[in-house]
Amino acid sequence: MIALAPAPSFTSLHEIRDKAILLSLGKAFLCEEVFLMKIGRSLDESLEHLREDILSLKMRYVGKFVEDVDTDSILEELHSQAEVLQSPDRRVTDKCTVGTLGAELERTVQTLTDAIKTIKAKVEGEVEEYTSKDAVVKGAKTAGSFVSSLFSLVIKLVILLFLLALGPAIYLGVTMDREGTLQKQIAESTNTIQSQKAQIASLRKERDELAAKAEASQADHLRREQKLEIMDLNVKVHTLDQQVHKAEAEITEHERRIKVNQKKIEEIKTKTFLQRFLRQ
């Protein structure tokens, strides 16, 4: 079996998002032509790596997408925005100062991020799609495996007749095995939730301290180094906010998993031994 190449890290996407965050801050010193031109050139460089990452991700998909995910038009839009930054005029600097320039770039980045997530879902098998050829092959495999499945069922029934003689011990063993796995998953999710809540508290404390420091550093006449320091503080605050949102989303996901596993346990308890043995 041929091993697949490592999945792309999409570091370039994170770099582009960071640039968008910088512009959305709407700080006057960030909207000077020299800064805008530098950010525009950096965006174009990141876009080249991002195109390669997306192509690498699509190549990991076995088969053919029934409906291709359009990333080319979004990449072209980002390239157009990068070109605008490299030749800024008064209109561009005005949009930058009020934060709308960064907001537009952030929206485009988010659209591309959603498209990449869709591709990842297809590659990882979360969304099953079949071409006409795939459907024919699948149908042939299903027909071919029917006899094997029937034979397997007969074997299970023969084994069942033997195991029934062992009575309650087997019943208890099957029940404890399946319920124990689900209980373990619930415990792991519970621990993760507690860990994420502690992390959120720590992140919020650090975020508030940085925000207070940035606010205290504001003044009318600042040196370039001071401006850059304040900019760095604002970016860190924004990054911490994103980490908090990510941790909150993970908590929500694990709470959902706990409910699903609890429901499965309840369903197991209502099934008969025969149903559990046959995995119905």
Number of domains into which the chain is organized: 2
Residue at 140 is within a domain: no
Report the pLDDT averaged over residues 12-25.
83
Report the pLDDT averaged over residues 45-54.
90
**Cα–Cα distance between 228 and 30 in angstroms, integer?**
9
> Where does a domain end: 72, 104, 129?
129
> Where does a domain end: 129, 149, 184?
129
What sign does the dihedral 124-130-134-136 (CA atoms) show?
positive
Residue at 138 is within a domain: no
Residue at 151 is within a domain: no
- Residue 29, pLDDT above cutoff 70: no
User: What is the residue type of 40?
Assistant: G
Residue at 139 is within a domain: no
Task: Identify whether residues 171 and 226 lie together within a single domain.
Answer: yes
User: What is the residue type of 259?
Assistant: K
Task: Identify whether residues 38 and 104 lie together within a single domain.
Answer: yes
Tell me the pLDDT tens digit for each residue of 142-170.
444 544 555 666 677 667 666 665 555 45
Q: pLDDT at position 57, please?
A: 84
Residue at 154 is within a domain: no
Q: pLDDT at position 133, please?
A: 45
Task: Identify whether residues 7 and 112 lie together within a single domain.
Answer: yes
Task: Identify whether residues 184 and 268 lie together within a single domain.
Answer: yes
Task: Identify whether residues 104 and 217 lie together within a single domain.
Answer: no
Task: Identify whether residues 124 and 182 lie together within a single domain.
Answer: no
Task: Identify whether residues 254 and 188 lie together within a single domain.
Answer: yes
> Where does a domain end: 73, 105, 129?
129
Residue at 247 is within a domain: yes
pTM for this entry:
0.47
- Residue 188, pLDDT above cutoff 70: yes
Task: Identify whether residues 222 and 277 lie together within a single domain.
Answer: yes
Task: Identify whether residues 172 and 124 lie together within a single domain.
Answer: no
Report the pLDDT averaged over residues 238-264.
89
Task: Identify whether residues 95 and 201 lie together within a single domain.
Answer: no
Domain region containing 237? 167-280
Which residues, other chains included, contact 53 with Cβ-Cβ below 8 Å and sequence gap of 6+? 8, 9, 10, 12, 13
Residue with the bigger pLDDT between 56 and 26: it is 56
Residue at 112 is within a domain: yes
Task: Identify whether residues 64 and 187 lie together within a single domain.
Answer: no
**Cα–Cα distance between 79 and 240 in angstroms, integer?**
28
Which range of 103-117, 152-166, 205-219 scores highest in mean pLDDT? It is 103-117
- Residues written for the chain: 280
Residue at 149 is within a domain: no
Task: Identify whether residues 115 and 187 lie together within a single domain.
Answer: no
Tell me the pLDDT tens digit for each residue of 218-229.
777 778 787 788
Per-residue pLDDT band for 191 (boundaries 50, 70, 90) equals very high
Task: State the SS3 of 120-189.
Answer: HHHHCCCCCCCCHHHHHHHHHHHHHHHHHHHHHHHHHHHHHHHHHHHCHHHHHHHHHHHHHHHHHHHHHH
